Chains A and B, each alone.
Chain A
Amino acid sequence: MTISLKRISAVCLGLATAAAIACSPAGAEEKKDFKIAWSIYAGWMPWGYAADSGLMKKWADKYGINVEIVQINDYVESINQYTAGGFDGCVMTNMDALTIPAAGGVDSTALIVGDFSNGNDGVVLKTGKTVADIKGEKINLVQLSVSHYLLARALDSVGLTEKDVSIVNTSDADIVSVFTSSSDSKAVVTWNPQLAEVAAVKGATKVFDSSKVPGEIIDLLVVNTGTLKDNPALAKALTGVWYEMMEKMAAGDEAMLTHMAKASGTDLAGYKAQLVTTRMFYKPAEAVEFATSPQLPKTMDLVRTFSFEHGLLGEGAKTKDAVGIAFPSGEILGDAKNVKLRFDAEAMKLAAEGKL
């Protein structure tokens, strides 16, 4: 009995150790193969094109590495996978970068500032005409997402707080059907392409959108800082392919735009309409200017305040300073000893100078 017991516990421990080693997060070391995750959104469609067109391979070959671009259907799941160590990089918004990987202790670098939402996220009311009419309403939105953040900013703009409304967490996949066919739903906050559909409902009014808070909902390519430090080629390959695609996009390359439109489930006109409300940084110099502007720390302060107040920084966070955020200027918001989110403009600067 005692012998078998010992043996069993030894086997258990051995299995556990083996499994733990196999599953431990991607460590930082020099390597050749990288995986980047992306999900459907107007500003991220170029990544799908990079993979399909062979452009990614071209740039990866140039720097002697392999980069696999993987599309994940569920946006939050892609970030969770990245945070758990399954990917070296992932596309996400500034708020999600702060609250998921950074708050989870995964040191992350915003390598490319791709665009910001300039009307892609909005508040739509069925009966009211202004933001103030939202008072007392039940609002369907994806809670704790940028929609929630946008609502907080909208309420703030008319002196209301979240206590004045009630929020129903509703999956983004169901927002449209809920708003169009259920009389319960009088107000929604959502993003494109759903936003365009709910705003088109007869009698509905878009009372607030992200163009009123420009530059606050930012779409980034986030890469593990340790991986980036040990593999400078990765940053160069990713930035290089990105700005080659931006050049094509800015030039209105029909083939590329059609490919991206199809991949996002719409047609060329539909995709172009989405791009109107997406402020793309086609030129690396614009992205550098945005990332180094003194406005960015102010935006991130708003975002981290919102995140802390909603408990998104995690159990360990006693103040909004718990997670440090570093900016290209060297400025640091929050705990300088616990910097987990870094905005970096170096690779984009190289692209701007044509050195990739």
Chain B
Amino acid sequence: MGLRIINRRPGRGGALFWGALPFLAVLALYLTFSAMRLADNPNDKLLPALSTIAETVVRLAFTPDQRTGQVLLWVDTAASLARLAWGLAVSAALGLVIGIASGLVPYLRAGLSPFVAVVSLIPPMALLPILFISFGLDELSKVVLIVIGIAPFLIRDLAMRVEAIPPELVIKAQTLGASTWQIITRLVLPTMLPKLIDALRLSLGPAWLFLISAEAIAAQDGLGYRIFLVRRYLAMDVILPYVAWITLLAFLMDWGLRAINRRTSPWLTRGMA
């Protein structure tokens, strides 16, 4: 039995090694390609050497820009994170309020659920020209794009999860004399908060996508703005570290949300292996 491959497990060190392998393979692939192109043309912009990328990162992250005097990476990061935070916060609030309301109150559900379902099917990018015209080119339209992109998903997810609360619990609360408001604050909210955070984690990818798309079209700063700006002259030495940085930020946000979930709702993981 132990000989079959499905029964063989890597140890702790083995898991680390196998986990690292794809990353190392990609790195090796990049270095090979890059070295070959650079041997052909030392100024090649497509696959710059790691040393060039490092120089660019130093310039972007630690040296003030010669024209504006700002340190670009931090200015861009702050601008993007502020937009993202607004978008996520508004979406989460909408998801929580509308989701719980429509999951718990049949009349609201009848009125809201088909509308939300239809809205969630509109591709947000298709609305972008309208958003720019109605909300201007500034921050508002970018935040609204994120909200339109992810709020319907959060609302539907929460509503379905509220509906999935065992009816026995709701009836029990009612026989104990709880009002609707008490049921919401004492029963629904505590069960839903961790689910909302999980849904937010799943929305991080789309949220970044909408943010960067909005910044690509009209912006003065932001991570997406910089990438699409320097695309103009094929500055892969800027684009690659920016992509890595965005990925790291997204990973940290995901990790942070998971940590919050574990901290605020310890019962979720209790009993799990």
Contact = CB atoms under 8 A, between A and B. Distances in A.
B33 A20 contact: yes
Interface in B193-248: 216-220, 225, 228-235, 237
A182 interface: yes
A178 interface: yes
B233 A105 contact: no
A24 B36 contact: yes
A187 B77 CA distance: 27
Contact of B133 (A24, A162, A167, A182): A182
Contact of B43 (A20, A27, A84, A104): A104
A189 interface: no
Given A140-B137, A183-B136, A316-B43, A174 B217 contact: yes
Interface string A128-170: 0000000000001011110000000000000000110011111
A167 B220 contact: yes
Contacts of A170: 137, 217-218
Contacts, number: 130
Interface residues of B, number: 43
Interface stretch (B44-52, B114-122, B179-187): B44-52
Given A104-B45, A185-B137, A171 B233 contact: no
Contacts of A100: 45, 232-234
A150 to B, nearest CB: 15
B237 A315 contact: yes
Contacts of B269: none
B13 to A, nearest CB: 11
A104 B137 contact: no
B239 to A, nearest CB: 11
B41 interface: yes
Contacts of B220: 166-169
A239 B234 CA distance: 28
B40 A174 contact: no
A23 interface: yes
Contacts of A35: none
A123 to B, nearest CB: 18
A342 B129 CA distance: 41
Interface in A85-106: 99-100, 103-106
B37 interface: yes
B28 interface: yes
A250 interface: no
A183 B133 CA distance: 9
B136 A105 contact: no
A204 B272 CA distance: 67
A310 interface: yes
Given A25-B37, A182-B132, A182-B133, A103 B233 contact: yes
A322 to B, nearest CB: 9
B43 A12 contact: no
Given A8-B21, A83-B234, A174-B129, A140 B218 contact: yes
Contacts of B48: 315
Main secondary structure of the interface of A (DSSP, over half): mixed
B169 to A, nearest CB: 51
A319 to B, nearest CB: 13
B42 interface: yes
A99 B233 contact: yes
Given A13-B32, A184-B138, A309-B67, A169 B219 contact: yes
B231 A76 contact: yes
A276 interface: no
A19 interface: yes
Given A84-B46, A105-B44, A17 B232 contact: no
A312 interface: yes
Given A16-B29, A99-B233, A178 B43 contact: no
A15 B26 CA distance: 11
A25 B218 contact: no
A256 B55 CA distance: 51
B137 A184 contact: yes
A181 B218 CA distance: 15
A314 to B, nearest CB: 7
Nearest to A166: B220
17 contacts: A8-B21, A13-B28, A13-B32, A15-B29, A19-B29, A80-B234, A103-B43, A104-B44, A105-B43, A144-B232, A168-B218, A171-B216, A171-B217, A177-B132, A184-B136, A184-B138, A316-B52
Given A103-B43, A169-B225, A174-B132, 11 more contacts: A12-B28, A79-B234, A104-B46, A105-B43, A106-B43, A142-B232, A163-B67, A169-B218, A174-B129, A315-B48, A315-B59
Interface of A: 8, 12-13, 15-17, 19-21, 23-25, 27, 76, 79-80, 83-84, 99-100, 103-106, 140, 142-145, 162-163, 166-171, 174, 177-178, 181-185, 309-312, 314-316, 340
10 interchain residue pairs of minimum CB distance: A105-B43, A104-B45, A16-B32, A184-B136, A105-B41, A170-B218, A20-B36, A181-B133, A144-B232, A16-B29
